Structure formats: C-alpha cells, structure tokens
Amino acid sequence: MNIAPITDENAPWKQRFRLSLSRGYLARCNYERGLVVSNKSGIYQLYSWNVSNGELRQLTQHTTGKEKGMISSDGQSIYYLNDTQGDEIGHLICINTETDEQIDITPDMKPYSIITMKTDYISKTLAYLISDKENGFQLFTRSMISTTFGPPNLIYQTSNFTENFAISYDGQLVVIETRDTEKGAGSNLVVFDTRNPKKHIGTLDDGMDVNIVPKQFASLSNDTRLLAKSNRSGIYRPFIWNVSTNERIDFASEQLGNEGDVTPLDWSSDGKLILLLHIHNATFQVYSYCIDDGILNKLTEQPSGVIFDAQFSPNGSIIVQWETSNMPLQTISLNGKTGAFEQIMLKSLINDQIPPSHLRRSVTFPSSDGQLIQGWLTLPVTNDNNGPLPTILDMHGGPEDVSPNRFGPQTEVWVDHGFAHLSINYRGSITFGRTFQHKIYSNIGYWEIEDVVAARTWLIEQGIAQANVIFLTGWSYGGYLTLLALGKHPNLWAGGMAGIAVVDWTIQYEDSAERLRGYQKTLFGGTPEEKPELYITASPITYVEQIIAPVLIIQACNDTRCPIRPMKNYEAKMHQYNKNCEIEWFDGGHSLNNVEQTISHIERMLQWVQRVLNTNKT
C-alpha cells in the first residue's frame, strides 16, 4: 500500500479537490440572471451570474464561506443568511444585484436559523421560514418593491419540525409542510391566506407515516394548483392539488412502473408541462409530462449521470445540474424533447485537466433481516487483484440523503493509495422507498449499524477486504454511525474516522439550534424527556468503554448542528478509559467550504491511517 504521495502538492487527489466547482441557478422569470455558488476563490462564496456573457461577480466574502443563497424570481435580489463563523445562526441579508447594496431585512430580531426562503413569481412577496429556541418555527411574508420591504407578517408558528413551503403566483397563498410526532414519520400540508393568516384555507393529509412535499404553484395568475409529491403508495409519486377546490390529480403512468421515486422538478410558465425525475437502481431519468393529454415523454437522449435539479427555459430547452463519476458538477442545457446535450451553461473547471477517476460499480448485499442494501464499490488498479485489500467503509450524512454515482474526490483519495472503498446507502437513505427510509424512525442507530456490519461481512466474503484492515468513516450522520459502530461492534474494525459527528443525542438536543431539535423529535418520536432510554441507546457516548480500535475525530468549533459540549464530554470519557482517541478542532461550522482546509483534514486522515497500520504491524 502506497501512502507516500500524501505530501505531494501535485498529487491527483489534491488536484481533484482543487478543481473550481460551480452550481448555477437561473432566476425563474428572468433567465438572463442567475446565482452561482463557487469555490473559484478557494472558498465557496455567492456570485451574481450574467447568463448571456457568463460573467460572475462575487457578492460575499465570508471567511468560512457561503454555499447557500436564493435569487428572486425577477433576478433583482439575492438572499443569504449572514451568520458568524459558519454557525448557521444570524440575519437574512438582501443584496441588490444592480448596486451590490446589502440590507439586513430583520435588524430588530434576535439571530435565527433559516430553513427556506422564496419569492413569489412576480417578486412582490418574500417568504422566509426561520427557527429559534424561543419561538420554534415561524413563517413570515414581507411585501417588497426591489429592496424595500413592508413589515413582517407572521403566517404560521409551530414547535413541530417544518422545512418546506410553496408560495403562489402573487404571494396570496402559502402551503407549508409540517410534521407532528403523532403522525409518526409522516407530514401534511397546511394552506394559509397571507392577507389573513388566521384564515386557514385547508389541509391535506395522506395518512400515518406518509410524507407530502410541496414543490411549487402554477406560474399563472389566479391559478391555485399546487405541484407536490406523496409517498402514500410506498414510493414518491407526483400529484397536482387545487388548494381552492380540493381537486387532486395523481400522476399514473405504466411507463414509470412501481419502483423508484419520482420527483417533480419544474412546471412550465404556460402551465402545460411538468418536468419529472425518476430515480431507480441508481439511474436518473428525466421526463416531461403534458397535463392536457397525460402523455409522458422520456428524454431518451439525456446524458448518463446524476441529475440534481432541472428547470424549463423560455426557448424550450431544459437547464440541468448534471454530474458523473468522471466529471464534476456542470450546469448544462438539454433539448426539451429528446434530452440531447446542447451546451454547457456554467462550467466548473479552470481547465480540462481532470485526474481520471477509478471505475465505480453498484453492488447489493443482504442485511441481517434479508433487506438488500445498495452501495458503490471502487477498487484500485493494481497488478495483483487476487488478494483482499485494506478497505474504507464510508457512510453518507443525513440520514435522509443518498450516495449516488457522482464525482467523488473523497472516494478517489483512498483508492489512489491502494484501498478498496465502499460507500453504502444504509436504512434511512432516500430514493429506496418509504419503508426503507422510515425503518430507522424511533429506533435510531440500530438498522443503520446492522447494514454497516452486513457490508463488512459481504466485503470479506467476496474476497475484497482484509478482515483486520477495515476502517470506518463518515461526516455528520455518517460520523455518528462511525462512532456508534466502533462502540457496538468493537472487534470488527481497524479504526474509525468521524467528521463533525453526533455523540450524545440528549445533550445534542439541549444545545442544538431549534431546526435540529425539531428534526430530532421527528426521528426519535419524542424529546429526551419522553424517550430517555432510546436517546441513551442511540448515543455513541454510551459505548465508550467497549471501544477497542483507535479513533480520529475532526470537529468544528462553531457547529450548531453538532455542538461542542457533547463532543467535549465524549473526548473526556474516551481519555478517562484510556482509549486511543485523537480530536482535531477547527474554526468553522457544519459545512466544509474551504478547499485547503478540506485537503488538510483528508491529509490528516491519511497520515493517521498510516500510523495505525504501522502500529499494528509492530
């Protein structure tokens, strides 16, 4: 196994991390303007995008970076949360894209977390969903003329976890998705008139444990039809709901089959076409659906790869966020009828010198209960493929996320150094159906770890992994699973590397920002006071005494999702029991926006693994 290149500044793995990556979003009603999130400066920042000439103008200068923002429908304004050192708590800022003037639109409020923000189609109403410990979740609307705002109008307030909403063409109606622990893992939609917030228009509820997610209203005046998706059939399928008449049209098509989730991506400006994304067996397929005749058109010539988002453009093309295992994220346009590639709208690279990626293949294996688990296996190119390899077992964050076949510098770094790498989509991951996703609810940590152990068994049985040289790794929820597996199954692992991890769900609940507290209640089915044993059983700190393998943890000092106190307690307990534990603290929040800082973290992990392996040899 060759670890020598880790200090070479021109090593392929460092080149991949240093690629200039950009994500572009077009204003809904002004396709000449856009918002770009890019690391071209070395740290992710927000940029104004002149689509016609490709010019980017940097708008933010945050030392810890800024990777989330929103552009108004008319392209005149860009919004973001101005926080402190990446802690995701602050004030909503509006930037005038003509003058670059920045305005704090809530100067008199205490700092808060932003969940979602949107403008209506005519850019006369701004809506923003925020949360804090004092008030829970609150949805406000503000009338607006350019960057002049009316007084805040409180539409909805709840202590239940709330994360999605849609706003109508003229801002008169809002539809909010909210969760209640009495509905299990499910959610429902609630409709309000913004002119009279006390007037409750209606509710849509598809039953216990069923999720309904709003996408957008029709982009036509006086049209109260809402595009949304529901997983009441066990998989997500789109539907249209008229919130005024309560009429509902569910999309039914034999062409889509009964497997894989279908997500609505966009609704054409004339209200006739809907853009759909079907994800099944790690394959991403885009369709356009005609409402008038019910014809589903498969874009058969779309390039293979991962589709993250898409929207209609005025000329009939489709603007897509697209990525492959060999090509970083690009914003491209496709033919609206065939899906054939037309042009690159926003290129992510400084040059075309991309270090080649290793072949990644989809694999499946049975977990302890027979459930098939999918993952992505990547192997190094060596002269000797007969023997098992040292192996990295990687878990994504979330848990409501998925590991697709995308461009993966974090994978390639290990394979470059002779490791096999397997990233798994454990129970709780999305796109595998409602039962798969909800299996972990009210039993956090159990089935995920069953799937991780099953992955190890499969790797050994297939002759891929050396049984005594399997390392666990993951960030956020993946870091949590890393530490939990090390404690619950201590004899199986050579070591574990956890980034910005959860270690004590009870203290986490006390110290986290309100948006995470709300999500925790949904995951656990209650608070620590209501479910004390479950919170204890699910926490890695409970199993510290059992840990045998060495541990490396990389943790942020300003993270309100995974706050400091739980990890400080974990660190102290590990030292109390003389466990081999190293913790590196860094300035920043939950997002890794600084390219060189990320490279430094990865280099530390490589060096740590080499030390562990050298120690085991002696």
User: Per-residue pLDDT tens for 530-543?
Assistant: 999 999 999 999 99
Cis upstream peptide for 399 (omega within 30°): yes
User: What CATH number did the domain enclosing 522 receive?
Assistant: 3.40.50.1820
Do both 285 and 423 map to the same domain?
A: no
pTM for the predicted model, two decimal places: 0.91
The reported pLDDT for the residue numbered 386 is 61
CA–CA distance, 484 with 554 (Å, rounded to integer): 16
Q: Is the pLDDT of residue 215 over 70?
A: yes
* Residues sharing a CB contact under 8 Å with residue 56, sequence separation 6 or more, in sequence order: 22, 36, 38, 40, 47, 48, 49, 50
- What average pLDDT does the segment 255-268 reach? 88
Phi then psi for residue 197, to 5 deg, are: -55, -25
For the packed helices 595-617 and 409-416, what is the interaxial angle rounded to 10 degrees? 30
Question: Which is higher by pLDDT, 267 or 199?
Answer: 267
* Residues sharing a CB contact under 8 Å with residue 424, sequence separation 6 or more, in sequence order: 373, 374, 375, 393, 394, 395, 403, 451, 452, 455
User: What CATH number did the domain enclosing 274 receive?
Assistant: 2.120.10.30
- What average pLDDT does the segment 269-291 reach? 90
For residue 54, the tally of other CB atoms under 10 A from its CB is: 11
CA–CA distance, 486 with 537 (Å, rounded to integer): 14
pLDDT band for position 422 (cuts 50, 70, 90): very high
Do both 509 and 542 map to the same domain?
A: yes
Q: Long-range contacts made by residues 109-112, C-beta under 8 angstroms, separation at least 24?
A: 110/134, 111/83
The reported pLDDT for the residue numbered 342 is 93
Do both 452 and 599 map to the same domain?
A: yes
In a domain, 320, yes or no: yes
Do both 521 and 539 map to the same domain?
A: yes
Q: Where on the phi/psi map is residue 67: left (φ > 0), alpha (ψ -120 to 50), or beta? A: alpha
Do both 465 and 557 map to the same domain?
A: yes
Domain boundary among 297, 332, 349: 349
Do both 449 and 434 map to the same domain?
A: yes
- What average pLDDT does the segment 336-363 reach? 83
Amino acid at 4: A
Do both 207 and 257 map to the same domain?
A: no
For residue 275, the tally of other CB atoms under 10 A from its CB is: 23
Domain boundary among 314, 349, 384: 349
pLDDT band for position 618 (cuts 50, 70, 90): low
- What average pLDDT does the segment 492-502 reach? 96
Range of the domain at 279: 251-349
pLDDT band for position 298 (cuts 50, 70, 90): very high
In a domain, 18, yes or no: no
- What average pLDDT does the segment 323-345 reach? 91
In a domain, 188, yes or no: yes
pLDDT in tens, 562-604: 889 999 999 999 999 999 999 999 888 888 888 888 999 999 9
CA–CA distance, 159 with 138 (Å, rounded to integer): 9
* Residues sharing a CB contact under 8 Å with residue 511, sequence separation 6 or more, in sequence order: 563, 564, 565, 566
Q: Is the pLDDT of residue 383 over 50?
A: no
What's the chain's average pLDDT?
A: 90
pLDDT band for position 349 (cuts 50, 70, 90): low
Question: Which is higher by pLDDT, 162 or 470?
Answer: 470
In a domain, 572, yes or no: yes
Do both 225 and 262 map to the same domain?
A: no
Do both 330 and 378 map to the same domain?
A: no
Number of structural domains the chain divides into? 3
Residues 251/244, Cβ–Cβ less than 8 Å: no
The reported pLDDT for the residue numbered 478 is 95
In a domain, 90, yes or no: no
Do both 138 and 159 map to the same domain?
A: yes
Q: Where on the phi/psi map is residue 141: left (φ > 0), alpha (ψ -120 to 50), or beta? A: beta
Domain boundary among 190, 222, 247: 247
Do both 327 and 233 map to the same domain?
A: no
Q: Is the pLDDT of residue 1 over 70?
A: no
Q: Is the pLDDT of residue 2 over 50?
A: no
